Structures are given as C-alpha cells and as structure tokens.
C-alpha cells in the first residue's frame, strides 16, 4: 500500500504577521487553524485528527484542550522544522488506514517578540557538543558549509545566488519580512556570522505560524475545488553515526528517493520545489541530495538564475522562503507546503507563478546539518497527476 492519491491538502493558511508581540502562541494556533479550515470550506466540527510539533505545551494534549477538539487520531512527531511535512505524510497514511478523514496540522511560535518555545532536556550527546560555544543553528550549519566548500569548491558567491533568487521572489510578497531584492555582493559583503555564513546567508527570525488541512478523497470530492493530491512522502533522520558524520550531505539522500518512488515521478517531472532554506547551504545540499544535480555541482546549478521563477531550471521558494519571507517559530516546514499548494492551485503571485504547475515538491529540514536532523520530502500534484 502507498499513500499515492490517498489524501489531499484541501486547506492552507499562513499567518500574515511577522512580529506579533500582542498574541500568545495559542492565539496564533487558533487563527491559523481557523484560517486553513475556512480555506478548505470546513470547520472545527469536521476535524477528527490533530497534528502538531513538540513546542506546543504538552504537545497535542495541550492543543486539543485549547481548541476544544476530541480527535480520533493524533500525532506529535517532532523533527524540528521538518515536522509538518512528516505530519502530512502521517496524516495521509492515517487517512488511508481509515483512522480519520479531516486532519488539521498547525504551527505557531514567537521567536521574534518573545520566545515561548520548547526547552528540550539534555540528551546523552549534550556534554560532547555544547561545551565549546555551539549556540545556535548558524554555527552548526557553517560547519557543513565549510566542508562542502572544501570538498567541492563551492563558493560564497554561489551560496549567495540562493539568497538572491529568494529575494527576487520576496519582492512580490507583501507579507515578506524582507520584501526587496539583494545582490550577490550584498550577501557576501554582509557581516560574517559564523564563517563561511554571512548574515544574508541566514533565514529571517519571525513570529507567526501556519496550518494545513489534509482530507480523504471523499471529503476532497465534496469540497469540489482545486486540491493538492498527495503523491508521495519520504522521511529520514540523519545523525552523527557514532563519530563518523559526513557533513556534505543531508537526509534528503534518503527521504528523496522514498518520496519519488511512492509518487512514481522523477526530478524532471517537478515543476516547482519548495526547498527548506534555514540557510543558503541547506538549499544547496538539498538540491544535490534530491538528485536535481550531481553531488558537488549545486553551486553551478543555483547560479545564473537557475532557481528564479517562473522560468529557471528549478523555480523554488516563490514566497521568498525562510531566507526572506517567513520562518515562523524558527521552523519553515509548513510554509514550504503552503507555497507548493499555492503553486499547484495557480494562486502564487502572478510574477512567480509557474505556468501549468502540475507536480510540486516540498522538502523540510529540521534540526542541524552539523549534528542531527530530520529530512522529509513531499510530492504533491494536480488531480490528474
């Protein structure tokens, strides 16, 4: 059994706010949930499954109490920013198994105006990783970038091309946190945060959230609108592998083939891709690992406008991505799915809408490339895809 065609994404909502000091994370969860349900043409009374990450209080128990739901199926998968793509895959499997018919996925967080996120207990690795000044994602991702540059000759200018493409798209998004175009020179001349990553190699820090509604084919049919069919899902966790970590690749090496196989498509079939962009290096490695180009050739692939919509080789992150638009709760997975659905519906901004977008890919990366992370790949399509 596969989940190909077993479920649809019928509702999407991205909170328009990027700095929300007056709201609690619970307010944001409610707003995005109601927004996505309204987009689907459904209401809270239709929801029989709830999916959220580990940042929401006592997880899904806190959230069902807050919402006033009594779902028949819940999932609290926590793989950082990739969680929400995993939730979609898990929701499709649960729907295929007859466990539920309308699954709600929500994300909310406030890293910009006041962190209300999780404080994870130390793991067995903590005293072997956290005593040397590693304090935040940039340091960890920088280790991966430095090694990739060493092995493959990737340059700062090539990484900058990724930010440039995202920024060109962000100009058309009125909600984008950084709604203006930047140049390669702007990126490489921005302050160094953690060599070789500059400030503009890093994503934005924003409050906000998003939600998705995943439904059974029967529900989708009744809604009678353009829904995104779930074609394939793959997930993988990459870790330090007993002291043998290789920093030049991501878990997309494993999640990608699983998703492509389930969907029955290949890279050449992908019209649009939402690629997780916590940092420019995240995009570069992921594009290679998903097979859009040979390993080590990502720098060439992203140059010369390769990622710029609508006519680049691989139009990506047309909302401006985490690099320019939004990275709510320091987790960009849900916005990756949302923009992929917009593209399939033809609802992206006209300046960046990919003509006749039939098949879209969304990929999430959560955690750290420098230690351990979750990778989840989703492939979505039009009804007849």
Residue 150 within binding range of other proteins, rule CB under 8 A:
yes
Q: Tokens 């998004």 identify what position?
A: 173
Helical H runs in 181-228?
Answer: 184-188, 217-223
Residue 144 within binding range of other proteins, rule CB under 8 A:
yes
Q: Which is nearer to other proteins, 289 or 339 (CB)?
A: 289
Residue 127 within binding range of other proteins, rule CB under 8 A:
yes
* Shortest separation between residue 370's beta carbon and other proteins, angstroms: 8
Q: Which stretch binds other proteins (CB under 8 A): 38-46, 67-75, 139-147, 304-312?
A: 139-147
Cβ-Cβ contacts under 8 Å for 27 (sequence gap 6 or more): none
Q: Which of residues 221-280 bind other proteins (CB under 8 A)?
A: 240, 242-245, 247
* Shortest separation between residue 330's beta carbon and other proteins, angstroms: 15
Distances (CA, A) of 141 to 105, 122, 249, 281: 27, 20, 12, 7
Residue 120 within binding range of other proteins, rule CB under 8 A:
no
Q: Which of 69, 107, 137, 193 binds other proteins (CB under 8 A)?
A: 193
| CA separation for the pair 51, 58 (Å, rounded) | 13
Distances (CA, A) of 130 to 46, 127, 246, 336: 45, 6, 19, 30
Residue 347 within binding range of other proteins, rule CB under 8 A:
no
| CA separation for the pair 69, 58 (Å, rounded) | 15
Helical H runs in the chain?
Answer: 25-40, 60-67, 83-96, 137-152, 156-170, 184-188, 217-223, 252-263, 280-289, 298-302, 333-345
Q: Which is nearer to other proteins, 129 or 269 (CB)?
A: 129
Contact 380, 262 (CB under 8 A): no
Residue 128 within binding range of other proteins, rule CB under 8 A:
yes
DSSP string, 50-81: EE--TTSSSTHHHHHHHHT---SEEE---BTB
Binding mask 65-104 for other proteins (x = CB under 8 A): ----------------------------------------
Alpha-carbon 204 to chain mean position: 14
Binding mask 287-326 for other proteins (x = CB under 8 A): ----------------------------------------
* Shortest separation between residue 246's beta carbon and other proteins, angstroms: 9
Q: Which is nearer to other proteins, 63 or 149 (CB)?
A: 149
Which of 297, 31, 252, 276 has its CA nearest to residue 152?
297
Binding mask 360-379 for other proteins (x = CB under 8 A): ----------x---------
Residues near other proteins, by CB under 8 A: 122, 124-129, 131-136, 139, 142-144, 146-147, 150, 191-197, 240, 242-245, 247, 370
């Amino acid at each position: 059994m596969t989940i190909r065609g077993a479920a649809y994404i019928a509702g999407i909502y991205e909170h328009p706010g990027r700095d929300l000091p007056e709201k609690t994370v619970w307010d944001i969860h409610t707003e995005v949930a109601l927004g996505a349900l309204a987009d689907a043409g459904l209401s809270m009374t239709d929801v029989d499954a709830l999916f959220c990450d580990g940042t929401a209080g006592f997880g899904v128990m806190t959230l069902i109490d807050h919402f006033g739901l009594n779902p028949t199926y819940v999932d609290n998968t926590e793989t950082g920013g990739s969680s929400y793509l995993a939730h979609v895959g898990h929701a499709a499997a649960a729907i295929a198994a007859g466990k539920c018919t309308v699954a709600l996925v929500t994300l909310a967080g406030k890293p910009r105006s006041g962190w209300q996120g999780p404080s994870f207990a130390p793991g067995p690795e903590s005293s072997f990783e956290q005593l040397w000044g590693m304090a935040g994602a940039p340091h960890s991702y920088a280790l991966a970038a430095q090694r990739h540059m060493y092995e493959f000759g990737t340059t700062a200018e090539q990484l900058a091309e990724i930010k440039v493409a995202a920024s060109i798209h962000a100009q058309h998004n009125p909600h984008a946190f950084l709604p203006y175009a930047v140049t390669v020179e702007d990126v490489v001349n921005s302050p160094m945060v953690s060599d070789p990553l500059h400030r503009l190699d890093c994503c934005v820090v924003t409050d906000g959230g998003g939600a998705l509604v995943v439904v059974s084919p029967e529900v989708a049919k009744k809604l009678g609108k353009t829904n995104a069919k779930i074609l394939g899902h793959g997930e993988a966790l990459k870790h330090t592998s007993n002291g043998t970590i290789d920093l030049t690749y991501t878990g997309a090496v494993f999640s990608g083939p699983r998703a492509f196989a389930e969907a029955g498509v290949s890279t050449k079939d992908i019209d649009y891709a939402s690629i997780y962009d916590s940092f420019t290096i995240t995009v570069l490695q992921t594009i290679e690992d998903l097979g859009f180009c040979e390993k080590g050739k990502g720098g060439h692939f992203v140059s010369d406008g390769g990622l710029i919509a609508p006519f680049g080789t691989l139009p990506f992150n047309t909302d401006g991505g985490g690099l320019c638009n939004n990275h709510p709760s320091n987790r960009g997975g849900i916005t990756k799915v949302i923009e992929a659905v917009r593209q399939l519906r033809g609802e992206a901004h006209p300046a960046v809408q990919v003509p006749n977008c039939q098949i879209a890919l969304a990929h999430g990366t959560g955690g750290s490339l420098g230690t351990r992370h979750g990778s989840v790949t989703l492939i979505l399509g039009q009804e007849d895809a």
